[in-house]
Amino acid sequence: MRWAIGGPLVQAGLDADPGKRAVVMTMGALHDGHLELVRRARAEAGPNGQVVVTIFVNPLQFGAGEDLDTYPRDLDGDVAKLAGVGADVVFAPTPDVVYPDGDPVVRVAAGHIGDVLEGEHRPGHLDGVLTVVLKLMHLVRPDVALFGEKDAQQLLAVRRMVRDLEVSVEVVGVPTVREADGLALSSRNAYLSADERTRALALSRALGAGAAAADSGGDGVINAARQVLDEADGVVVDYLALVDPVTVDAVADDFSGHALLLVAARVGTTRLIDNQAIEVSPEVQR
C-alpha cells in the first residue's frame, strides 16, 4: 500500500495502472463502517484496479463553534487499519494542498438540498462537503466513489451534484454499519461516555419503531418514532422527518411508497445522525 501526504497523487504511482479506480473519501478516525466502504471499493475496482482512500478533515464543512479543532485524528492508526482491507493508496493532503490559495472563492452550492434538515441546523455544511468532494474527485480522478448511507442527505447531495455537473464518476451508496445493539458507527461516537452511548440507542430504536409502523401511513411512522424519542432521557432532537429519498422534501401524512426516516439529535455534547429506508403503506382501515 502506498500513501501520499501533500503531493500530487500521480507521485504515488496512481497513473501506472489503467484499471478501474475507486475512491473512499473520509475525515479519518476510521471505524468498521469506513473499512466496509473500502472493502466494497475493492470489489468495485476489481483485482486490476486501484482503491484510493482520502483522509482530510475539511474545514469548509464545519460551522462556527463546531468540533473542527477537536475532531478525532489518528493518521498512523488509520493507515494501519487500511493496510488489511484492500486499500492501495492513502491520500492524506494538508489544507494547503486542497486549498492552496486559502478558502476557495468559488464553491459548490447544494441548493435546496443544503437548506433543509442538516442545512437548517448546520448552514453551509453541505456546500462545504460538495466543494471538497468535487475537488478530491478532480485530484484523484476515480471511476467510482463510495459513500455511506448513514449520511443520507450528503449522499443525495453528492449524487445530485454529479448528475447536474456531468461529473464522470459513478456514485455507490453502502448500507450503514451498526454495532450489535443497533448504534450506527460514527467517528463522533468516540465522544460519548458509557452512559451517553446507552442513551444514544434511542435513535436506532426510534427508527425501528417508525419502520414497524410502516403499514399505518406516513403520520403513523413519524408518531411511532417520535414517541420513542420523547421518552428518551438526555436526547435533544434537532429534527425527525420522513422525506422523499430524492428531493429530501417531507412527505404528506397520507403518503405511501419509498421514503427515508431521518433523525438528528444531541446526546450530551455529541451530535448524531441516523436514518432508515421505509416502504410506507396507506393507513389500514379497520
The widest CA-to-CA distance across the chain, in whole angstroms, is: 67
Going by pLDDT thresholds of 50, 70 and 90, the confidence category of residue 10 is: very low
And the C-alpha cell for 239? 429534527
- Least confident among 96-100, 116-120, 252-256: 252-256
Burial zone of 80 (CB within 10 Å; 0-12 exposed, 13-18 middle, 19+ buried): exposed
Who has greater pLDDT, 11 or 166? 166
CB atoms within 10 A of CB 125: 22
- Residue 175 DSSP class: P
Burial zone of 279 (CB within 10 Å; 0-12 exposed, 13-18 middle, 19+ buried): exposed
125 is catalytic: no
The pLDDT value given to residue 16: 52
The pLDDT value given to residue 286: 38
Burial zone of 101 (CB within 10 Å; 0-12 exposed, 13-18 middle, 19+ buried): exposed
pTM, two decimals, is 0.90
Task: Decide if pLDDT at 212 tops 70.
Answer: yes
Residue 111, annotated as binding a ligand: no
The pLDDT value given to residue 65: 87
And the C-alpha cell for 250? 417531507
The pLDDT value given to residue 254: 83
Residue 32, annotated as binding a ligand: yes
And the C-alpha cell for 146? 463510495
Q: For the sheet containing 270-280, what is the strand order?
A: 235-243, 257-267, 270-280
Please report, rounded to a whole number, the percentage of residues in the chain having pLDDT higher than 90. Answer: 87
Q: Which of 34, 112, 121, 258 is catalytic?
A: 34
Task: Decide if pLDDT at 257 tops 60.
Answer: yes
And the C-alpha cell for 112? 435546496
Residue 152, annotated as binding a ligand: no
Mean pLDDT for the chain?
92
The pLDDT value given to residue 5: 53
Residue 276, annotated as binding a ligand: no
Which tens digit of pLDDT belongs to each residue from 138-159?
Answer: 999 999 999 999 999 999 999 9
Which tens digit of pLDDT belongs to each residue from 61-79?
Answer: 999 889 999 999 999 999 9
Which tens digit of pLDDT belongs to each residue from 19-55?
Answer: 799 999 999 999 999 999 999 999 999 989 999 999 9
And the C-alpha cell for 113? 438540498
| Contact criterion met (CB below 8 Å) for 61 and 157 | no
Which tens digit of pLDDT belongs to each residue from 163-173?
Answer: 999 999 999 99
Residue 9: strand, helix, or coil: helix
The pLDDT value given to residue 253: 82
